[in-house]
Every structure is written in structure tokens, then in C-alpha cells.
Amino acid sequence: MRIGIGYDIHPLVEGRKLCLGGVTIPFSKGLQGHSDGDALTHAIIDALLGAIGEGDIGSQFGTESPKYKNISSLVMLEKVYEIIRKMSFQVNNVDSTVVAEKPKLASFINKMRENIAKILNIEIERVSIKSTTGKGIGVIGRCEGIASYAVVSVNRLVHSPRSTAHGK
């Protein structure tokens, strides 16, 4: 078993849709980013890539590439899942937290869990998404941005030659 941790933060800006966990959430601002700015999915992607030793979101989906401009982060998650499968891993679980002063996210969390679980081919019970506020403190508390944290665990399906190379 391997464990990975991910973190992402994006500023809230006018003129963008707010997308978290692949769900468009009605709000007056959205998250700035090269892709759709989905900080939750980005944190999960970083955690997954870390768990399998394949870098981070920037190394896989660089902001210099026009092909990722405004791309859905769920599409990027699908590509990461393909890497996971090719390396003979399976996702065990995802535990994540979104930190946002506004909007309230409770009514959207189940759909986010469904989206993530479907792509990672796991039961919804294996995807935890929680939300909290910044308690009025800092960038998050002033409604200037949204941050997300994620921890994942993955298991190797079979022993492959790569699994013994360099301690992997």
C-alpha cells in the first residue's frame, strides 16, 4: 500500500464558473486557473500522483500546454487513473477537505463524491469529501480563494518488474 497527499489553492475571480469535484456550483465568482481551476480535483490528482511516484499535476499537465487550457479537471483525473492502472495500482480510498468561506458546499458534496468515485472505479463510500471555512481568517476567510487537501491510498494489484526497481 502507498499513501499520497495533495494540496491546491486557487484565487476566486469574476467571470469564471466555480467548479469543484466536477460540479458547477452557482456562485458569483469562479476559480482562476489554466484548466477549470477545480482545486478539489487538483489536490486529489496530486495525492494520487504522489502515491505512485509520478510527480505532480504540473509535471503531467503543464500550464504551458494549450491543450490543457480550460480542460475539465475530471478529464485530467481520468488520465491519471489510466497511469495508475498501467502501473498496476488500484485506488483504495480518497479523503479530502475543501476550505471555502463561501459558498456553502454541503448540498453539492454527494455529486462530487459520485464523480470522483466513478472515474477512479471505486465505491462512493471510499470517497470522502468534507468542507470547512477559514473562520474569517486569511485569504480563504476573506473569500479571496478556495483551497483543498487530499490524502489517498493505493494498492499494487500485482508485482511487476517496476515494483522492485529502486525500492518501488
Q: Write the pLDDT tens digit of every residue in 118-137.
A: 999 999 999 999 999 999 99
Q: Which three cell numbers stand for residue 71?
A: 480542460
Residue position matching grid coordinates 511516484 = 53
Check which CATH number belongs to the domain holding 101 and give it: 3.30.1330.50
Number of domains in the chain: 1
The closest of 163, 136, 157, 150 to 53, measured between CA atoms, is 163
pLDDT digits 0-9 by tens, 73-110: 999 999 999 999 999 999 999 999 999 999 999 999 99
Q: Is residue 146 part of a domain?
A: yes
Strands 145-156, 89-99: parallel, antiparallel or unpaired by DSSP?
antiparallel
**47 within domain boundaries:** yes
Q: Choose between 68 and 140: higher pLDDT.
A: 140
Query: What are the tens digits of pLDDT across the range 17-71?
Result: 999 999 999 999 999 998 899 999 999 999 999 999 999 988 888 777 777 777 8
Contact 142, 85 (CB under 8 A): no
pLDDT at residue 168 above 80?
Answer: no
Distances (CA, A) of 56 to 9, 12, 127, 148, 159: 14, 22, 20, 15, 24
Is 93 in contact with 73 (CB distance < 8 Å)?
A: no
pLDDT value of residue 159: 64
Is 7 domain-assigned? yes
Domain with 155, as residue range(s), is 2-163
pLDDT of residue 58: 86
- In the chain, the percentage of residues whose pLDDT exceeds 70 is 94
- Specify if 168 maps to a domain: no
d(C-alpha 81, C-alpha 51), whole Å: 12
| Orientation of helix 73-86 relative to helix 39-51, angle to 10° | 10
How does residue 142 score in pLDDT terms, banded at 50, 70 and 90?
A: very high
Q: What is the Cα–Cα distance from 103 to 119, expressed in whole angstroms?
A: 25
Position 43 in a domain: yes
Q: Does the residue 49 lie in any domain?
A: yes
Residue 160 pLDDT:
55
